[in-house]
């Protein structure tokens, strides 16, 4: 087997998704702990210590204890090279999560055992289903009082419409959490609380047939309940089917506690066996194979000011085929330019190192002088194709933005434009005026807070936000066939344009959209912009 095929085959690239507070960042850290990438995990909410979650690097994230941007973390474990895409759990940042899922080959869904499927999990799950990517479920927080295990499975099947197959089964929860039963090897792995933040913990494997030893470890009641549940599972549970998992139709389910480390390594080992190496991707000239095609990649995220001292902009790209080598020339398809990627790096949150080579499945961050956009394709100089674009979400909240100090106009325009290029916010202007009036559109209102914070901290610009009542935005698809000036709208309609000069319409009420279409024959409106 060639080195290229061998290297690509050992890659695993996945995203971790969850509702806020289900323990996703803690689980990510524990993976890194087992991979030897970090020595001590820092609890996100651990205000008593100066440590913060490794994947939360932006100042506002450390202050608020939430993830607002997706982090990329790479580490080695058991001869696998693992790329984890940690995503924001908060729904106001779902657009960033959506783009990140475009770069992943599979997803790990973290569910709080005491709450079951929550609203945000549902939304993100739909994106995974849309992409038909394999989903693995980790039911977390078994060290706290949990819902009935069968009810949790039922919840996943009903709420998300996917079949479940428990790979292990919990024995109790909260203070009565004794361990898990591994259905594959038919053994009970006992649990004893570990010192927080370390991977050493006492656990023992006991055959389910060794009744005497089991009784001494878990007690009569837990033993009796486990015996009944094993019988139920064997009779009623879905059979494990690797092909159904790969098609995204069946989710293997694991129980554990990320905080106390229990079940994390068991999950990681099974997960690596059940996931596939990087998959082929569709382009406008057909399927691009990971090992048969030369280097290709697409940009799924742009992040400015990852290092405040350097005022830099990093474009994150997922390598889809072949191998990247230092100093090689690549073609930026949308820019129609041949170029060398500048300072390609791999990340461990805000720590980074320059890479000499990277393979399909890897994520690299390259210095962006302002030429890349989300969805751009890069390929070898002799090739010419584009990967499928990433649609932009329609904003649902709008505000007029003004800088407090009019002398800082230049920094203000630069800052707001750069943040918009990252895709977290969209900026618009009044249709007939210049840049004087800037309107910002966001998917979630928390984005306004992040915008204000970042302009102040990264660009030294104070802003005032004036909320606008609009809730609906429409792109004009046939702008060349319509006289925008003469459009007859409703009283709550506002004409605006995006940074590329495309005309858009804002509405307060949904019925106004239909009425505007009726009043302007031939007008075609679209709900999504093209990335």
Domain shared by 353 and 403, yes or no: no
Q: In the prediction, which pLDDT does 21 show?
A: 80
Across the 531 residues of the chain, what is the mean pLDDT of every consecutive 10-residue run? 90 87 82 68 37 49 43 83 73 64 91 87 76 91 93 92 93 90 91 55 78 86 90 81 93 93 90 93 93 93 64 82 91 92 66 81 86 90 88 81 89 86 82 73 82 87 93 87 84 87 89 92 77 47
Q: In the prediction, which pLDDT does 311 show?
A: 57
Domain containing residue 261: CATH number: 3.40.50.300
Q: In the prediction, which pLDDT does 426 show?
A: 87
> What domain range includes position 516?
397-526
Which pair of tokens denotes residue 243? 């092909």
Is 288 a member of any domain?
Answer: yes
Domain shared by 238 and 342, yes or no: no
Is 207 a member of any domain?
Answer: yes
Domain shared by 181 and 314, yes or no: no
Decide if 416 contacts 455 (C-beta within 8 A).
Answer: yes
Size of the chain, expressed as the number of residues it contains? 531
Domain containing residue 518: CATH number: 3.30.70.3280
Q: What is the DSSP letter of 480?
A: G
Is 8 a member of any domain?
Answer: no
Backbone φ, ψ for residue 103 (5° rounding): -95, -5
Decide if 153 contacts 232 (C-beta within 8 A).
Answer: no
Decide if 39 contacts 142 (C-beta within 8 A).
Answer: no
Is 90 a member of any domain?
Answer: no
**Sign (positive/negative) of CA torsion 263, 56, 38, 10?**
positive
Domain shared by 159 and 200, yes or no: yes
Domain shared by 346 and 458, yes or no: no
User: Residue 510: helix, strand or coil by DSSP?
Assistant: helix
Domain containing residue 313: CATH number: 2.40.30.10
Q: In the prediction, which pLDDT does 225 show?
A: 92
Decide if 142 contacts 114 (C-beta within 8 A).
Answer: no
Q: In the prediction, which pLDDT does 313 show?
A: 76
Angle, helices 264-274/24-34, rounded to nearest 10 degrees: 80
Q: Which of 319, 354, 380 is the last residue of a domain?
A: 380
Q: Which of 348, 380, 412 is the last residue of a domain?
A: 380
Is 223 a member of any domain?
Answer: yes
Cα–Cα distance for residue pair 422/391, rounded to 1 Å: 14
Is 509 a member of any domain?
Answer: yes
Domain shared by 373 and 404, yes or no: no
Task: Judge residue 202's burial from the number of C-beta atoms within 10 Å of its C-beta, 0-12 exposed, 13-18 middle, 19 or more buried.
Answer: exposed
Q: In the prediction, which pLDDT does 33 show?
A: 82
Q: 403-407: long-range contacts at Cβ-Cβ below 8 A with a sequence spacing of 24 or more?
A: 403/461, 403/462, 403/463, 403/464, 404/461, 404/462, 404/463, 404/464, 405/461, 405/462
Cα–Cα distance for residue pair 278/366, rounded to 1 Å: 21
Is 100 a member of any domain?
Answer: no
Q: What is the DSSP letter of 387?
A: B
Which pair of tokens denotes residue 22? 């289900």
Which pair of tokens denotes residue 89? 């759990």
Q: Which of 255, 274, 293 is the last residue of a domain?
A: 274
Decide if 146 contacts 154 (C-beta within 8 A).
Answer: no
Cα–Cα distance for residue pair 167/389, rounded to 1 Å: 36
CA distances 479 to 212, 471, 524, Å, are 78, 22, 8
Q: Which residues contact 158 (CB under 8 A, 6 or more apart)?
A: none
Cα–Cα distance for residue pair 151/142, rounded to 1 Å: 14
Measured in whole angstroms, how far is the alpha carbon of residue 272 from the centre of its chain?
19
Domain shared by 133 and 262, yes or no: yes
Q: In the prediction, which pLDDT does 61 show?
A: 47
Domain shared by 52 and 126, yes or no: yes
Which pair of tokens denotes residue 176? 């009565």
Domain shared by 49 and 178, yes or no: yes
* Overall number of domains in the chain: 3
Q: Give the pairing type, strands 250-255 and 163-166.
A: parallel
Domain shared by 357 and 254, yes or no: no
Backbone φ, ψ for residue 260 (5° rounding): -95, 5
Of the candidates 204, 188, 199, 191, the one whose C-alpha atom is nearest the C-alpha of residue 261 is 199
Residue with token string 């210049």: 434
Domain shared by 48 and 155, yes or no: yes
- In DSSP notation, 76-144 reads EETTEEEEEEE---SGGGHHHHHHHHHT-SEEEEEEETTTBS-HHHHHHHHHHHHHT--EEEEEE-TTS
Which pair of tokens denotes residue 475? 């792109």
Q: In the prediction, which pLDDT does 254 show?
A: 97
Q: Give the pairing type, strands 135-140 and 106-112.
A: parallel
Domain shared by 152 and 288, yes or no: no
Cα–Cα distance for residue pair 317/377, rounded to 1 Å: 9
Cα–Cα distance for residue pair 444/422, rounded to 1 Å: 15
**Sign (positive/negative) of CA torsion 404, 407, 409, 412?**
negative
Decide if 140 contacts 23 (C-beta within 8 A).
Answer: yes
């Amino acid at each position: 087997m060639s080195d290229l095929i061998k290297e690509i085959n050992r890659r695993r690239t996945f995203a971790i998704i969850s509702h806020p507070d289900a323990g996703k960042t803690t689980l990510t850290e524990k993976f890194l702990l087992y991979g030897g990438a970090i020595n001590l995990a820092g609890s996100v909410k651990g205000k008593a210590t100066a440590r913060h979650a490794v994947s939360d690097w932006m100042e506002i994230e450390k202050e608020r204890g939430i993830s607002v941007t997706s982090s990329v973390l790479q580490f080695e474990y058991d001869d696998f090279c693992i790329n984890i895409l940690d995503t924001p759990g908060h729904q106001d940042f779902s657009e960033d999560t959506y783009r990140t899922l475009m770069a992943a080959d599979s997803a790990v869904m973290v569910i709080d055992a005491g709450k079951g499927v929550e609203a945000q999990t549902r939304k993100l799950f739909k994106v995974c289903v849309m992409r038909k990517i394999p989903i693995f479920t980790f039911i977390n927080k078994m060290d706290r009082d949990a819902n009935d295990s069968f009810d949790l499975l039922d919840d996943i099947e009903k709420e998300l419409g996917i079949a479940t197959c428990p790979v292990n089964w919990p024995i109790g929860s909260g203070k009565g959490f004794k361990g898990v039963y591994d259905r594959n090897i038919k053994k009970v792995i006992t649990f004893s609380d570990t010192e927080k933040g370390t991977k050493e913990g006492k656990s023992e494997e006991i055959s389910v047939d060794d009744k005497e030893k089991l009784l001494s470890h878990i007690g009569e009641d837990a033993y009796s309940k486990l015996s009944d549940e094993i019988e139920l599972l064997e009779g009623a549970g879905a059979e494990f089917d690797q092909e159904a998992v790969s098609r995204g139709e069946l989710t293997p389910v694991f129980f554990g506690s990320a905080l106390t480390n229990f079940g994390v390594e068991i999950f990681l080992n099974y997960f690596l066996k059940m996931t596939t190496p990087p998959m082929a991707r569709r382009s406008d000239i057909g399927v691009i194979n990971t090992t048969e095609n030369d280097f290709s990649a697409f940009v799924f995220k742009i992040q400015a000011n990852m290092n405040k001292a350097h005022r830099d902009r990093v474009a994150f790209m997922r390598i889809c085929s072949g191998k990247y080598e230092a100093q090689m020339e690549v073609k930026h398809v949308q820019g129609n330019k041949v170029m060398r990627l500048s300072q390609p790096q791999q990340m461990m949150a805000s720590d980074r190192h320059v890479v000499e080579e990277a393979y399909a499945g890897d994520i690299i961050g390259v210095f962006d002088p302002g030429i890349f956009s989300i969805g751009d394709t890069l390929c070898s100089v002799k090739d010419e194709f584009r990967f499928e674009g990433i649609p932009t979400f329609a904003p649902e909240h709008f505000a007029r933005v003004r800088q407090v100090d009019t002398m800082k106009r230049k920094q203000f325009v630069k800052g707001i434009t750069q943040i918009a290029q990252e895709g977290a916010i969209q900026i618009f202007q009044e249709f007939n005026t210049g840049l004087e009036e800037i309107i910002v559109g966001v998917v979630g209102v928390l984005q306004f807070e992040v915008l204000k914070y970042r302009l102040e901290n990264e660009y030294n610009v104070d802003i005032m936000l004036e909320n606008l009542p609009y809730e609906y935005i429409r792109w004009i698809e046939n702008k060349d066939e319509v006289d925008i000036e003469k459009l007859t709208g409703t009283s709550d309609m506002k004409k605006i344009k995006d940074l590329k000069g495309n005309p858009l319409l804002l509405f307060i009420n949904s019925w106004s959209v239909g009425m505007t279409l009726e009043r302007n024959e031939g007008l075609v409106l679209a709900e999504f912009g093209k990335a």
